[in-house]
Amino acid sequence: MQLPEARTARVDIVLEGSLTSTGGGVASSCTLVRDADRVIVVDPGMAESATAILGPLAELGVRPEDVTEVVLSHHHPDHTLYAGLFPRAAVHDHWAIYRGTDWEDSECDGRVLAPSVILARTPGHTAEDLATLVGTPHGVVVCTHSWFNAETTVDDESPDDPEALHASRAAILEIASEIIPGHGARFRPTGDTPR
Ligand SMILES: [Zn+2]
Ligand SMILES: [Zn+2]
């Protein structure tokens, strides 16, 4: 797994994800990453309203038009629903970068978004999963859907490819000082973290 070159980014939680059931109560973890001149929003997905994302961003001093990149961890709607809120942002997924009507093919693994921000392909939950690796002064923070939250095992999550998910978790645990999971609070991995 290729690490970001620098350790200069700032990470803020925009919305802490949650997951009650498919009958309701689903929110994706949405994260703001700022590094150099890049303003990056990861997974502006299901939330109570657009305001649930734009309000916290405003409190952090970020207007919708300030956002330069949107990163989608994978293609499920709970992680993509509000991707269109940011009129100037390039949108990143596992195989392309989208700007207006321009579709640029681009493998995500190793894609550099900023000196301290790089993407890594981490299949398992779906074949399209990517993680956002963020170098901060305190270590590498990983935004990833390879965990729903700090406690969920691979079996709990019924992934598309359990073996691939185990491998992605192992690769992330080698480099992460902190994990922001798809549907839960940020956590510091320990020996007890399910892998
Ligand atoms: Zn999903
Ligand atoms: Zn999800």
Provide the residue-wise pLDDT of the chain in tens; the chain has 195 residues: 999 999 999 999 999 999 886 667 899 999 999 999 999 999 999 999 999 999 999 999 999 999 999 999 999 999 999 999 999 999 999 999 999 999 999 999 999 999 999 999 999 999 999 999 999 999 999 999 999 999 999 999 999 999 999 999 999 999 999 999 999 999 999 999 999
Nearest-ligand number for the alpha carbon of 19? 2
Residue 61, CA distances (Å) to 7, 55, 155 in order: 22, 10, 40
Please state the pTM of the whole predicted model.
0.97
Q: Retrieve residue 6's tokens.
A: 């620098």
Nearest-ligand number for the alpha carbon of 43? 2
3-state secondary structure 61-85: CCCHHHCCEEECCCCCHHHCCCHHH
Nearest-ligand number for the alpha carbon of 127? 1
Strand 18-21 and strand 24-27: the pairing is: antiparallel
Question: Of 28, 21, 37, whose CA–CA distance to 82 is shortest?
Answer: 28
Q: How far is ligand 2, taken at its centre, from the CA of residue 148, in Å?
A: 7
Domain boundaries, the chain: 10-181
Distance CA 89, CA 68 (A): 4
Q: How far is ligand 2, taken at its centre, from the CA of residue 96, in Å?
A: 20
CATH class of the domain comprising 10-181: alpha beta
What was the pLDDT predicted at 159? Answer: 97
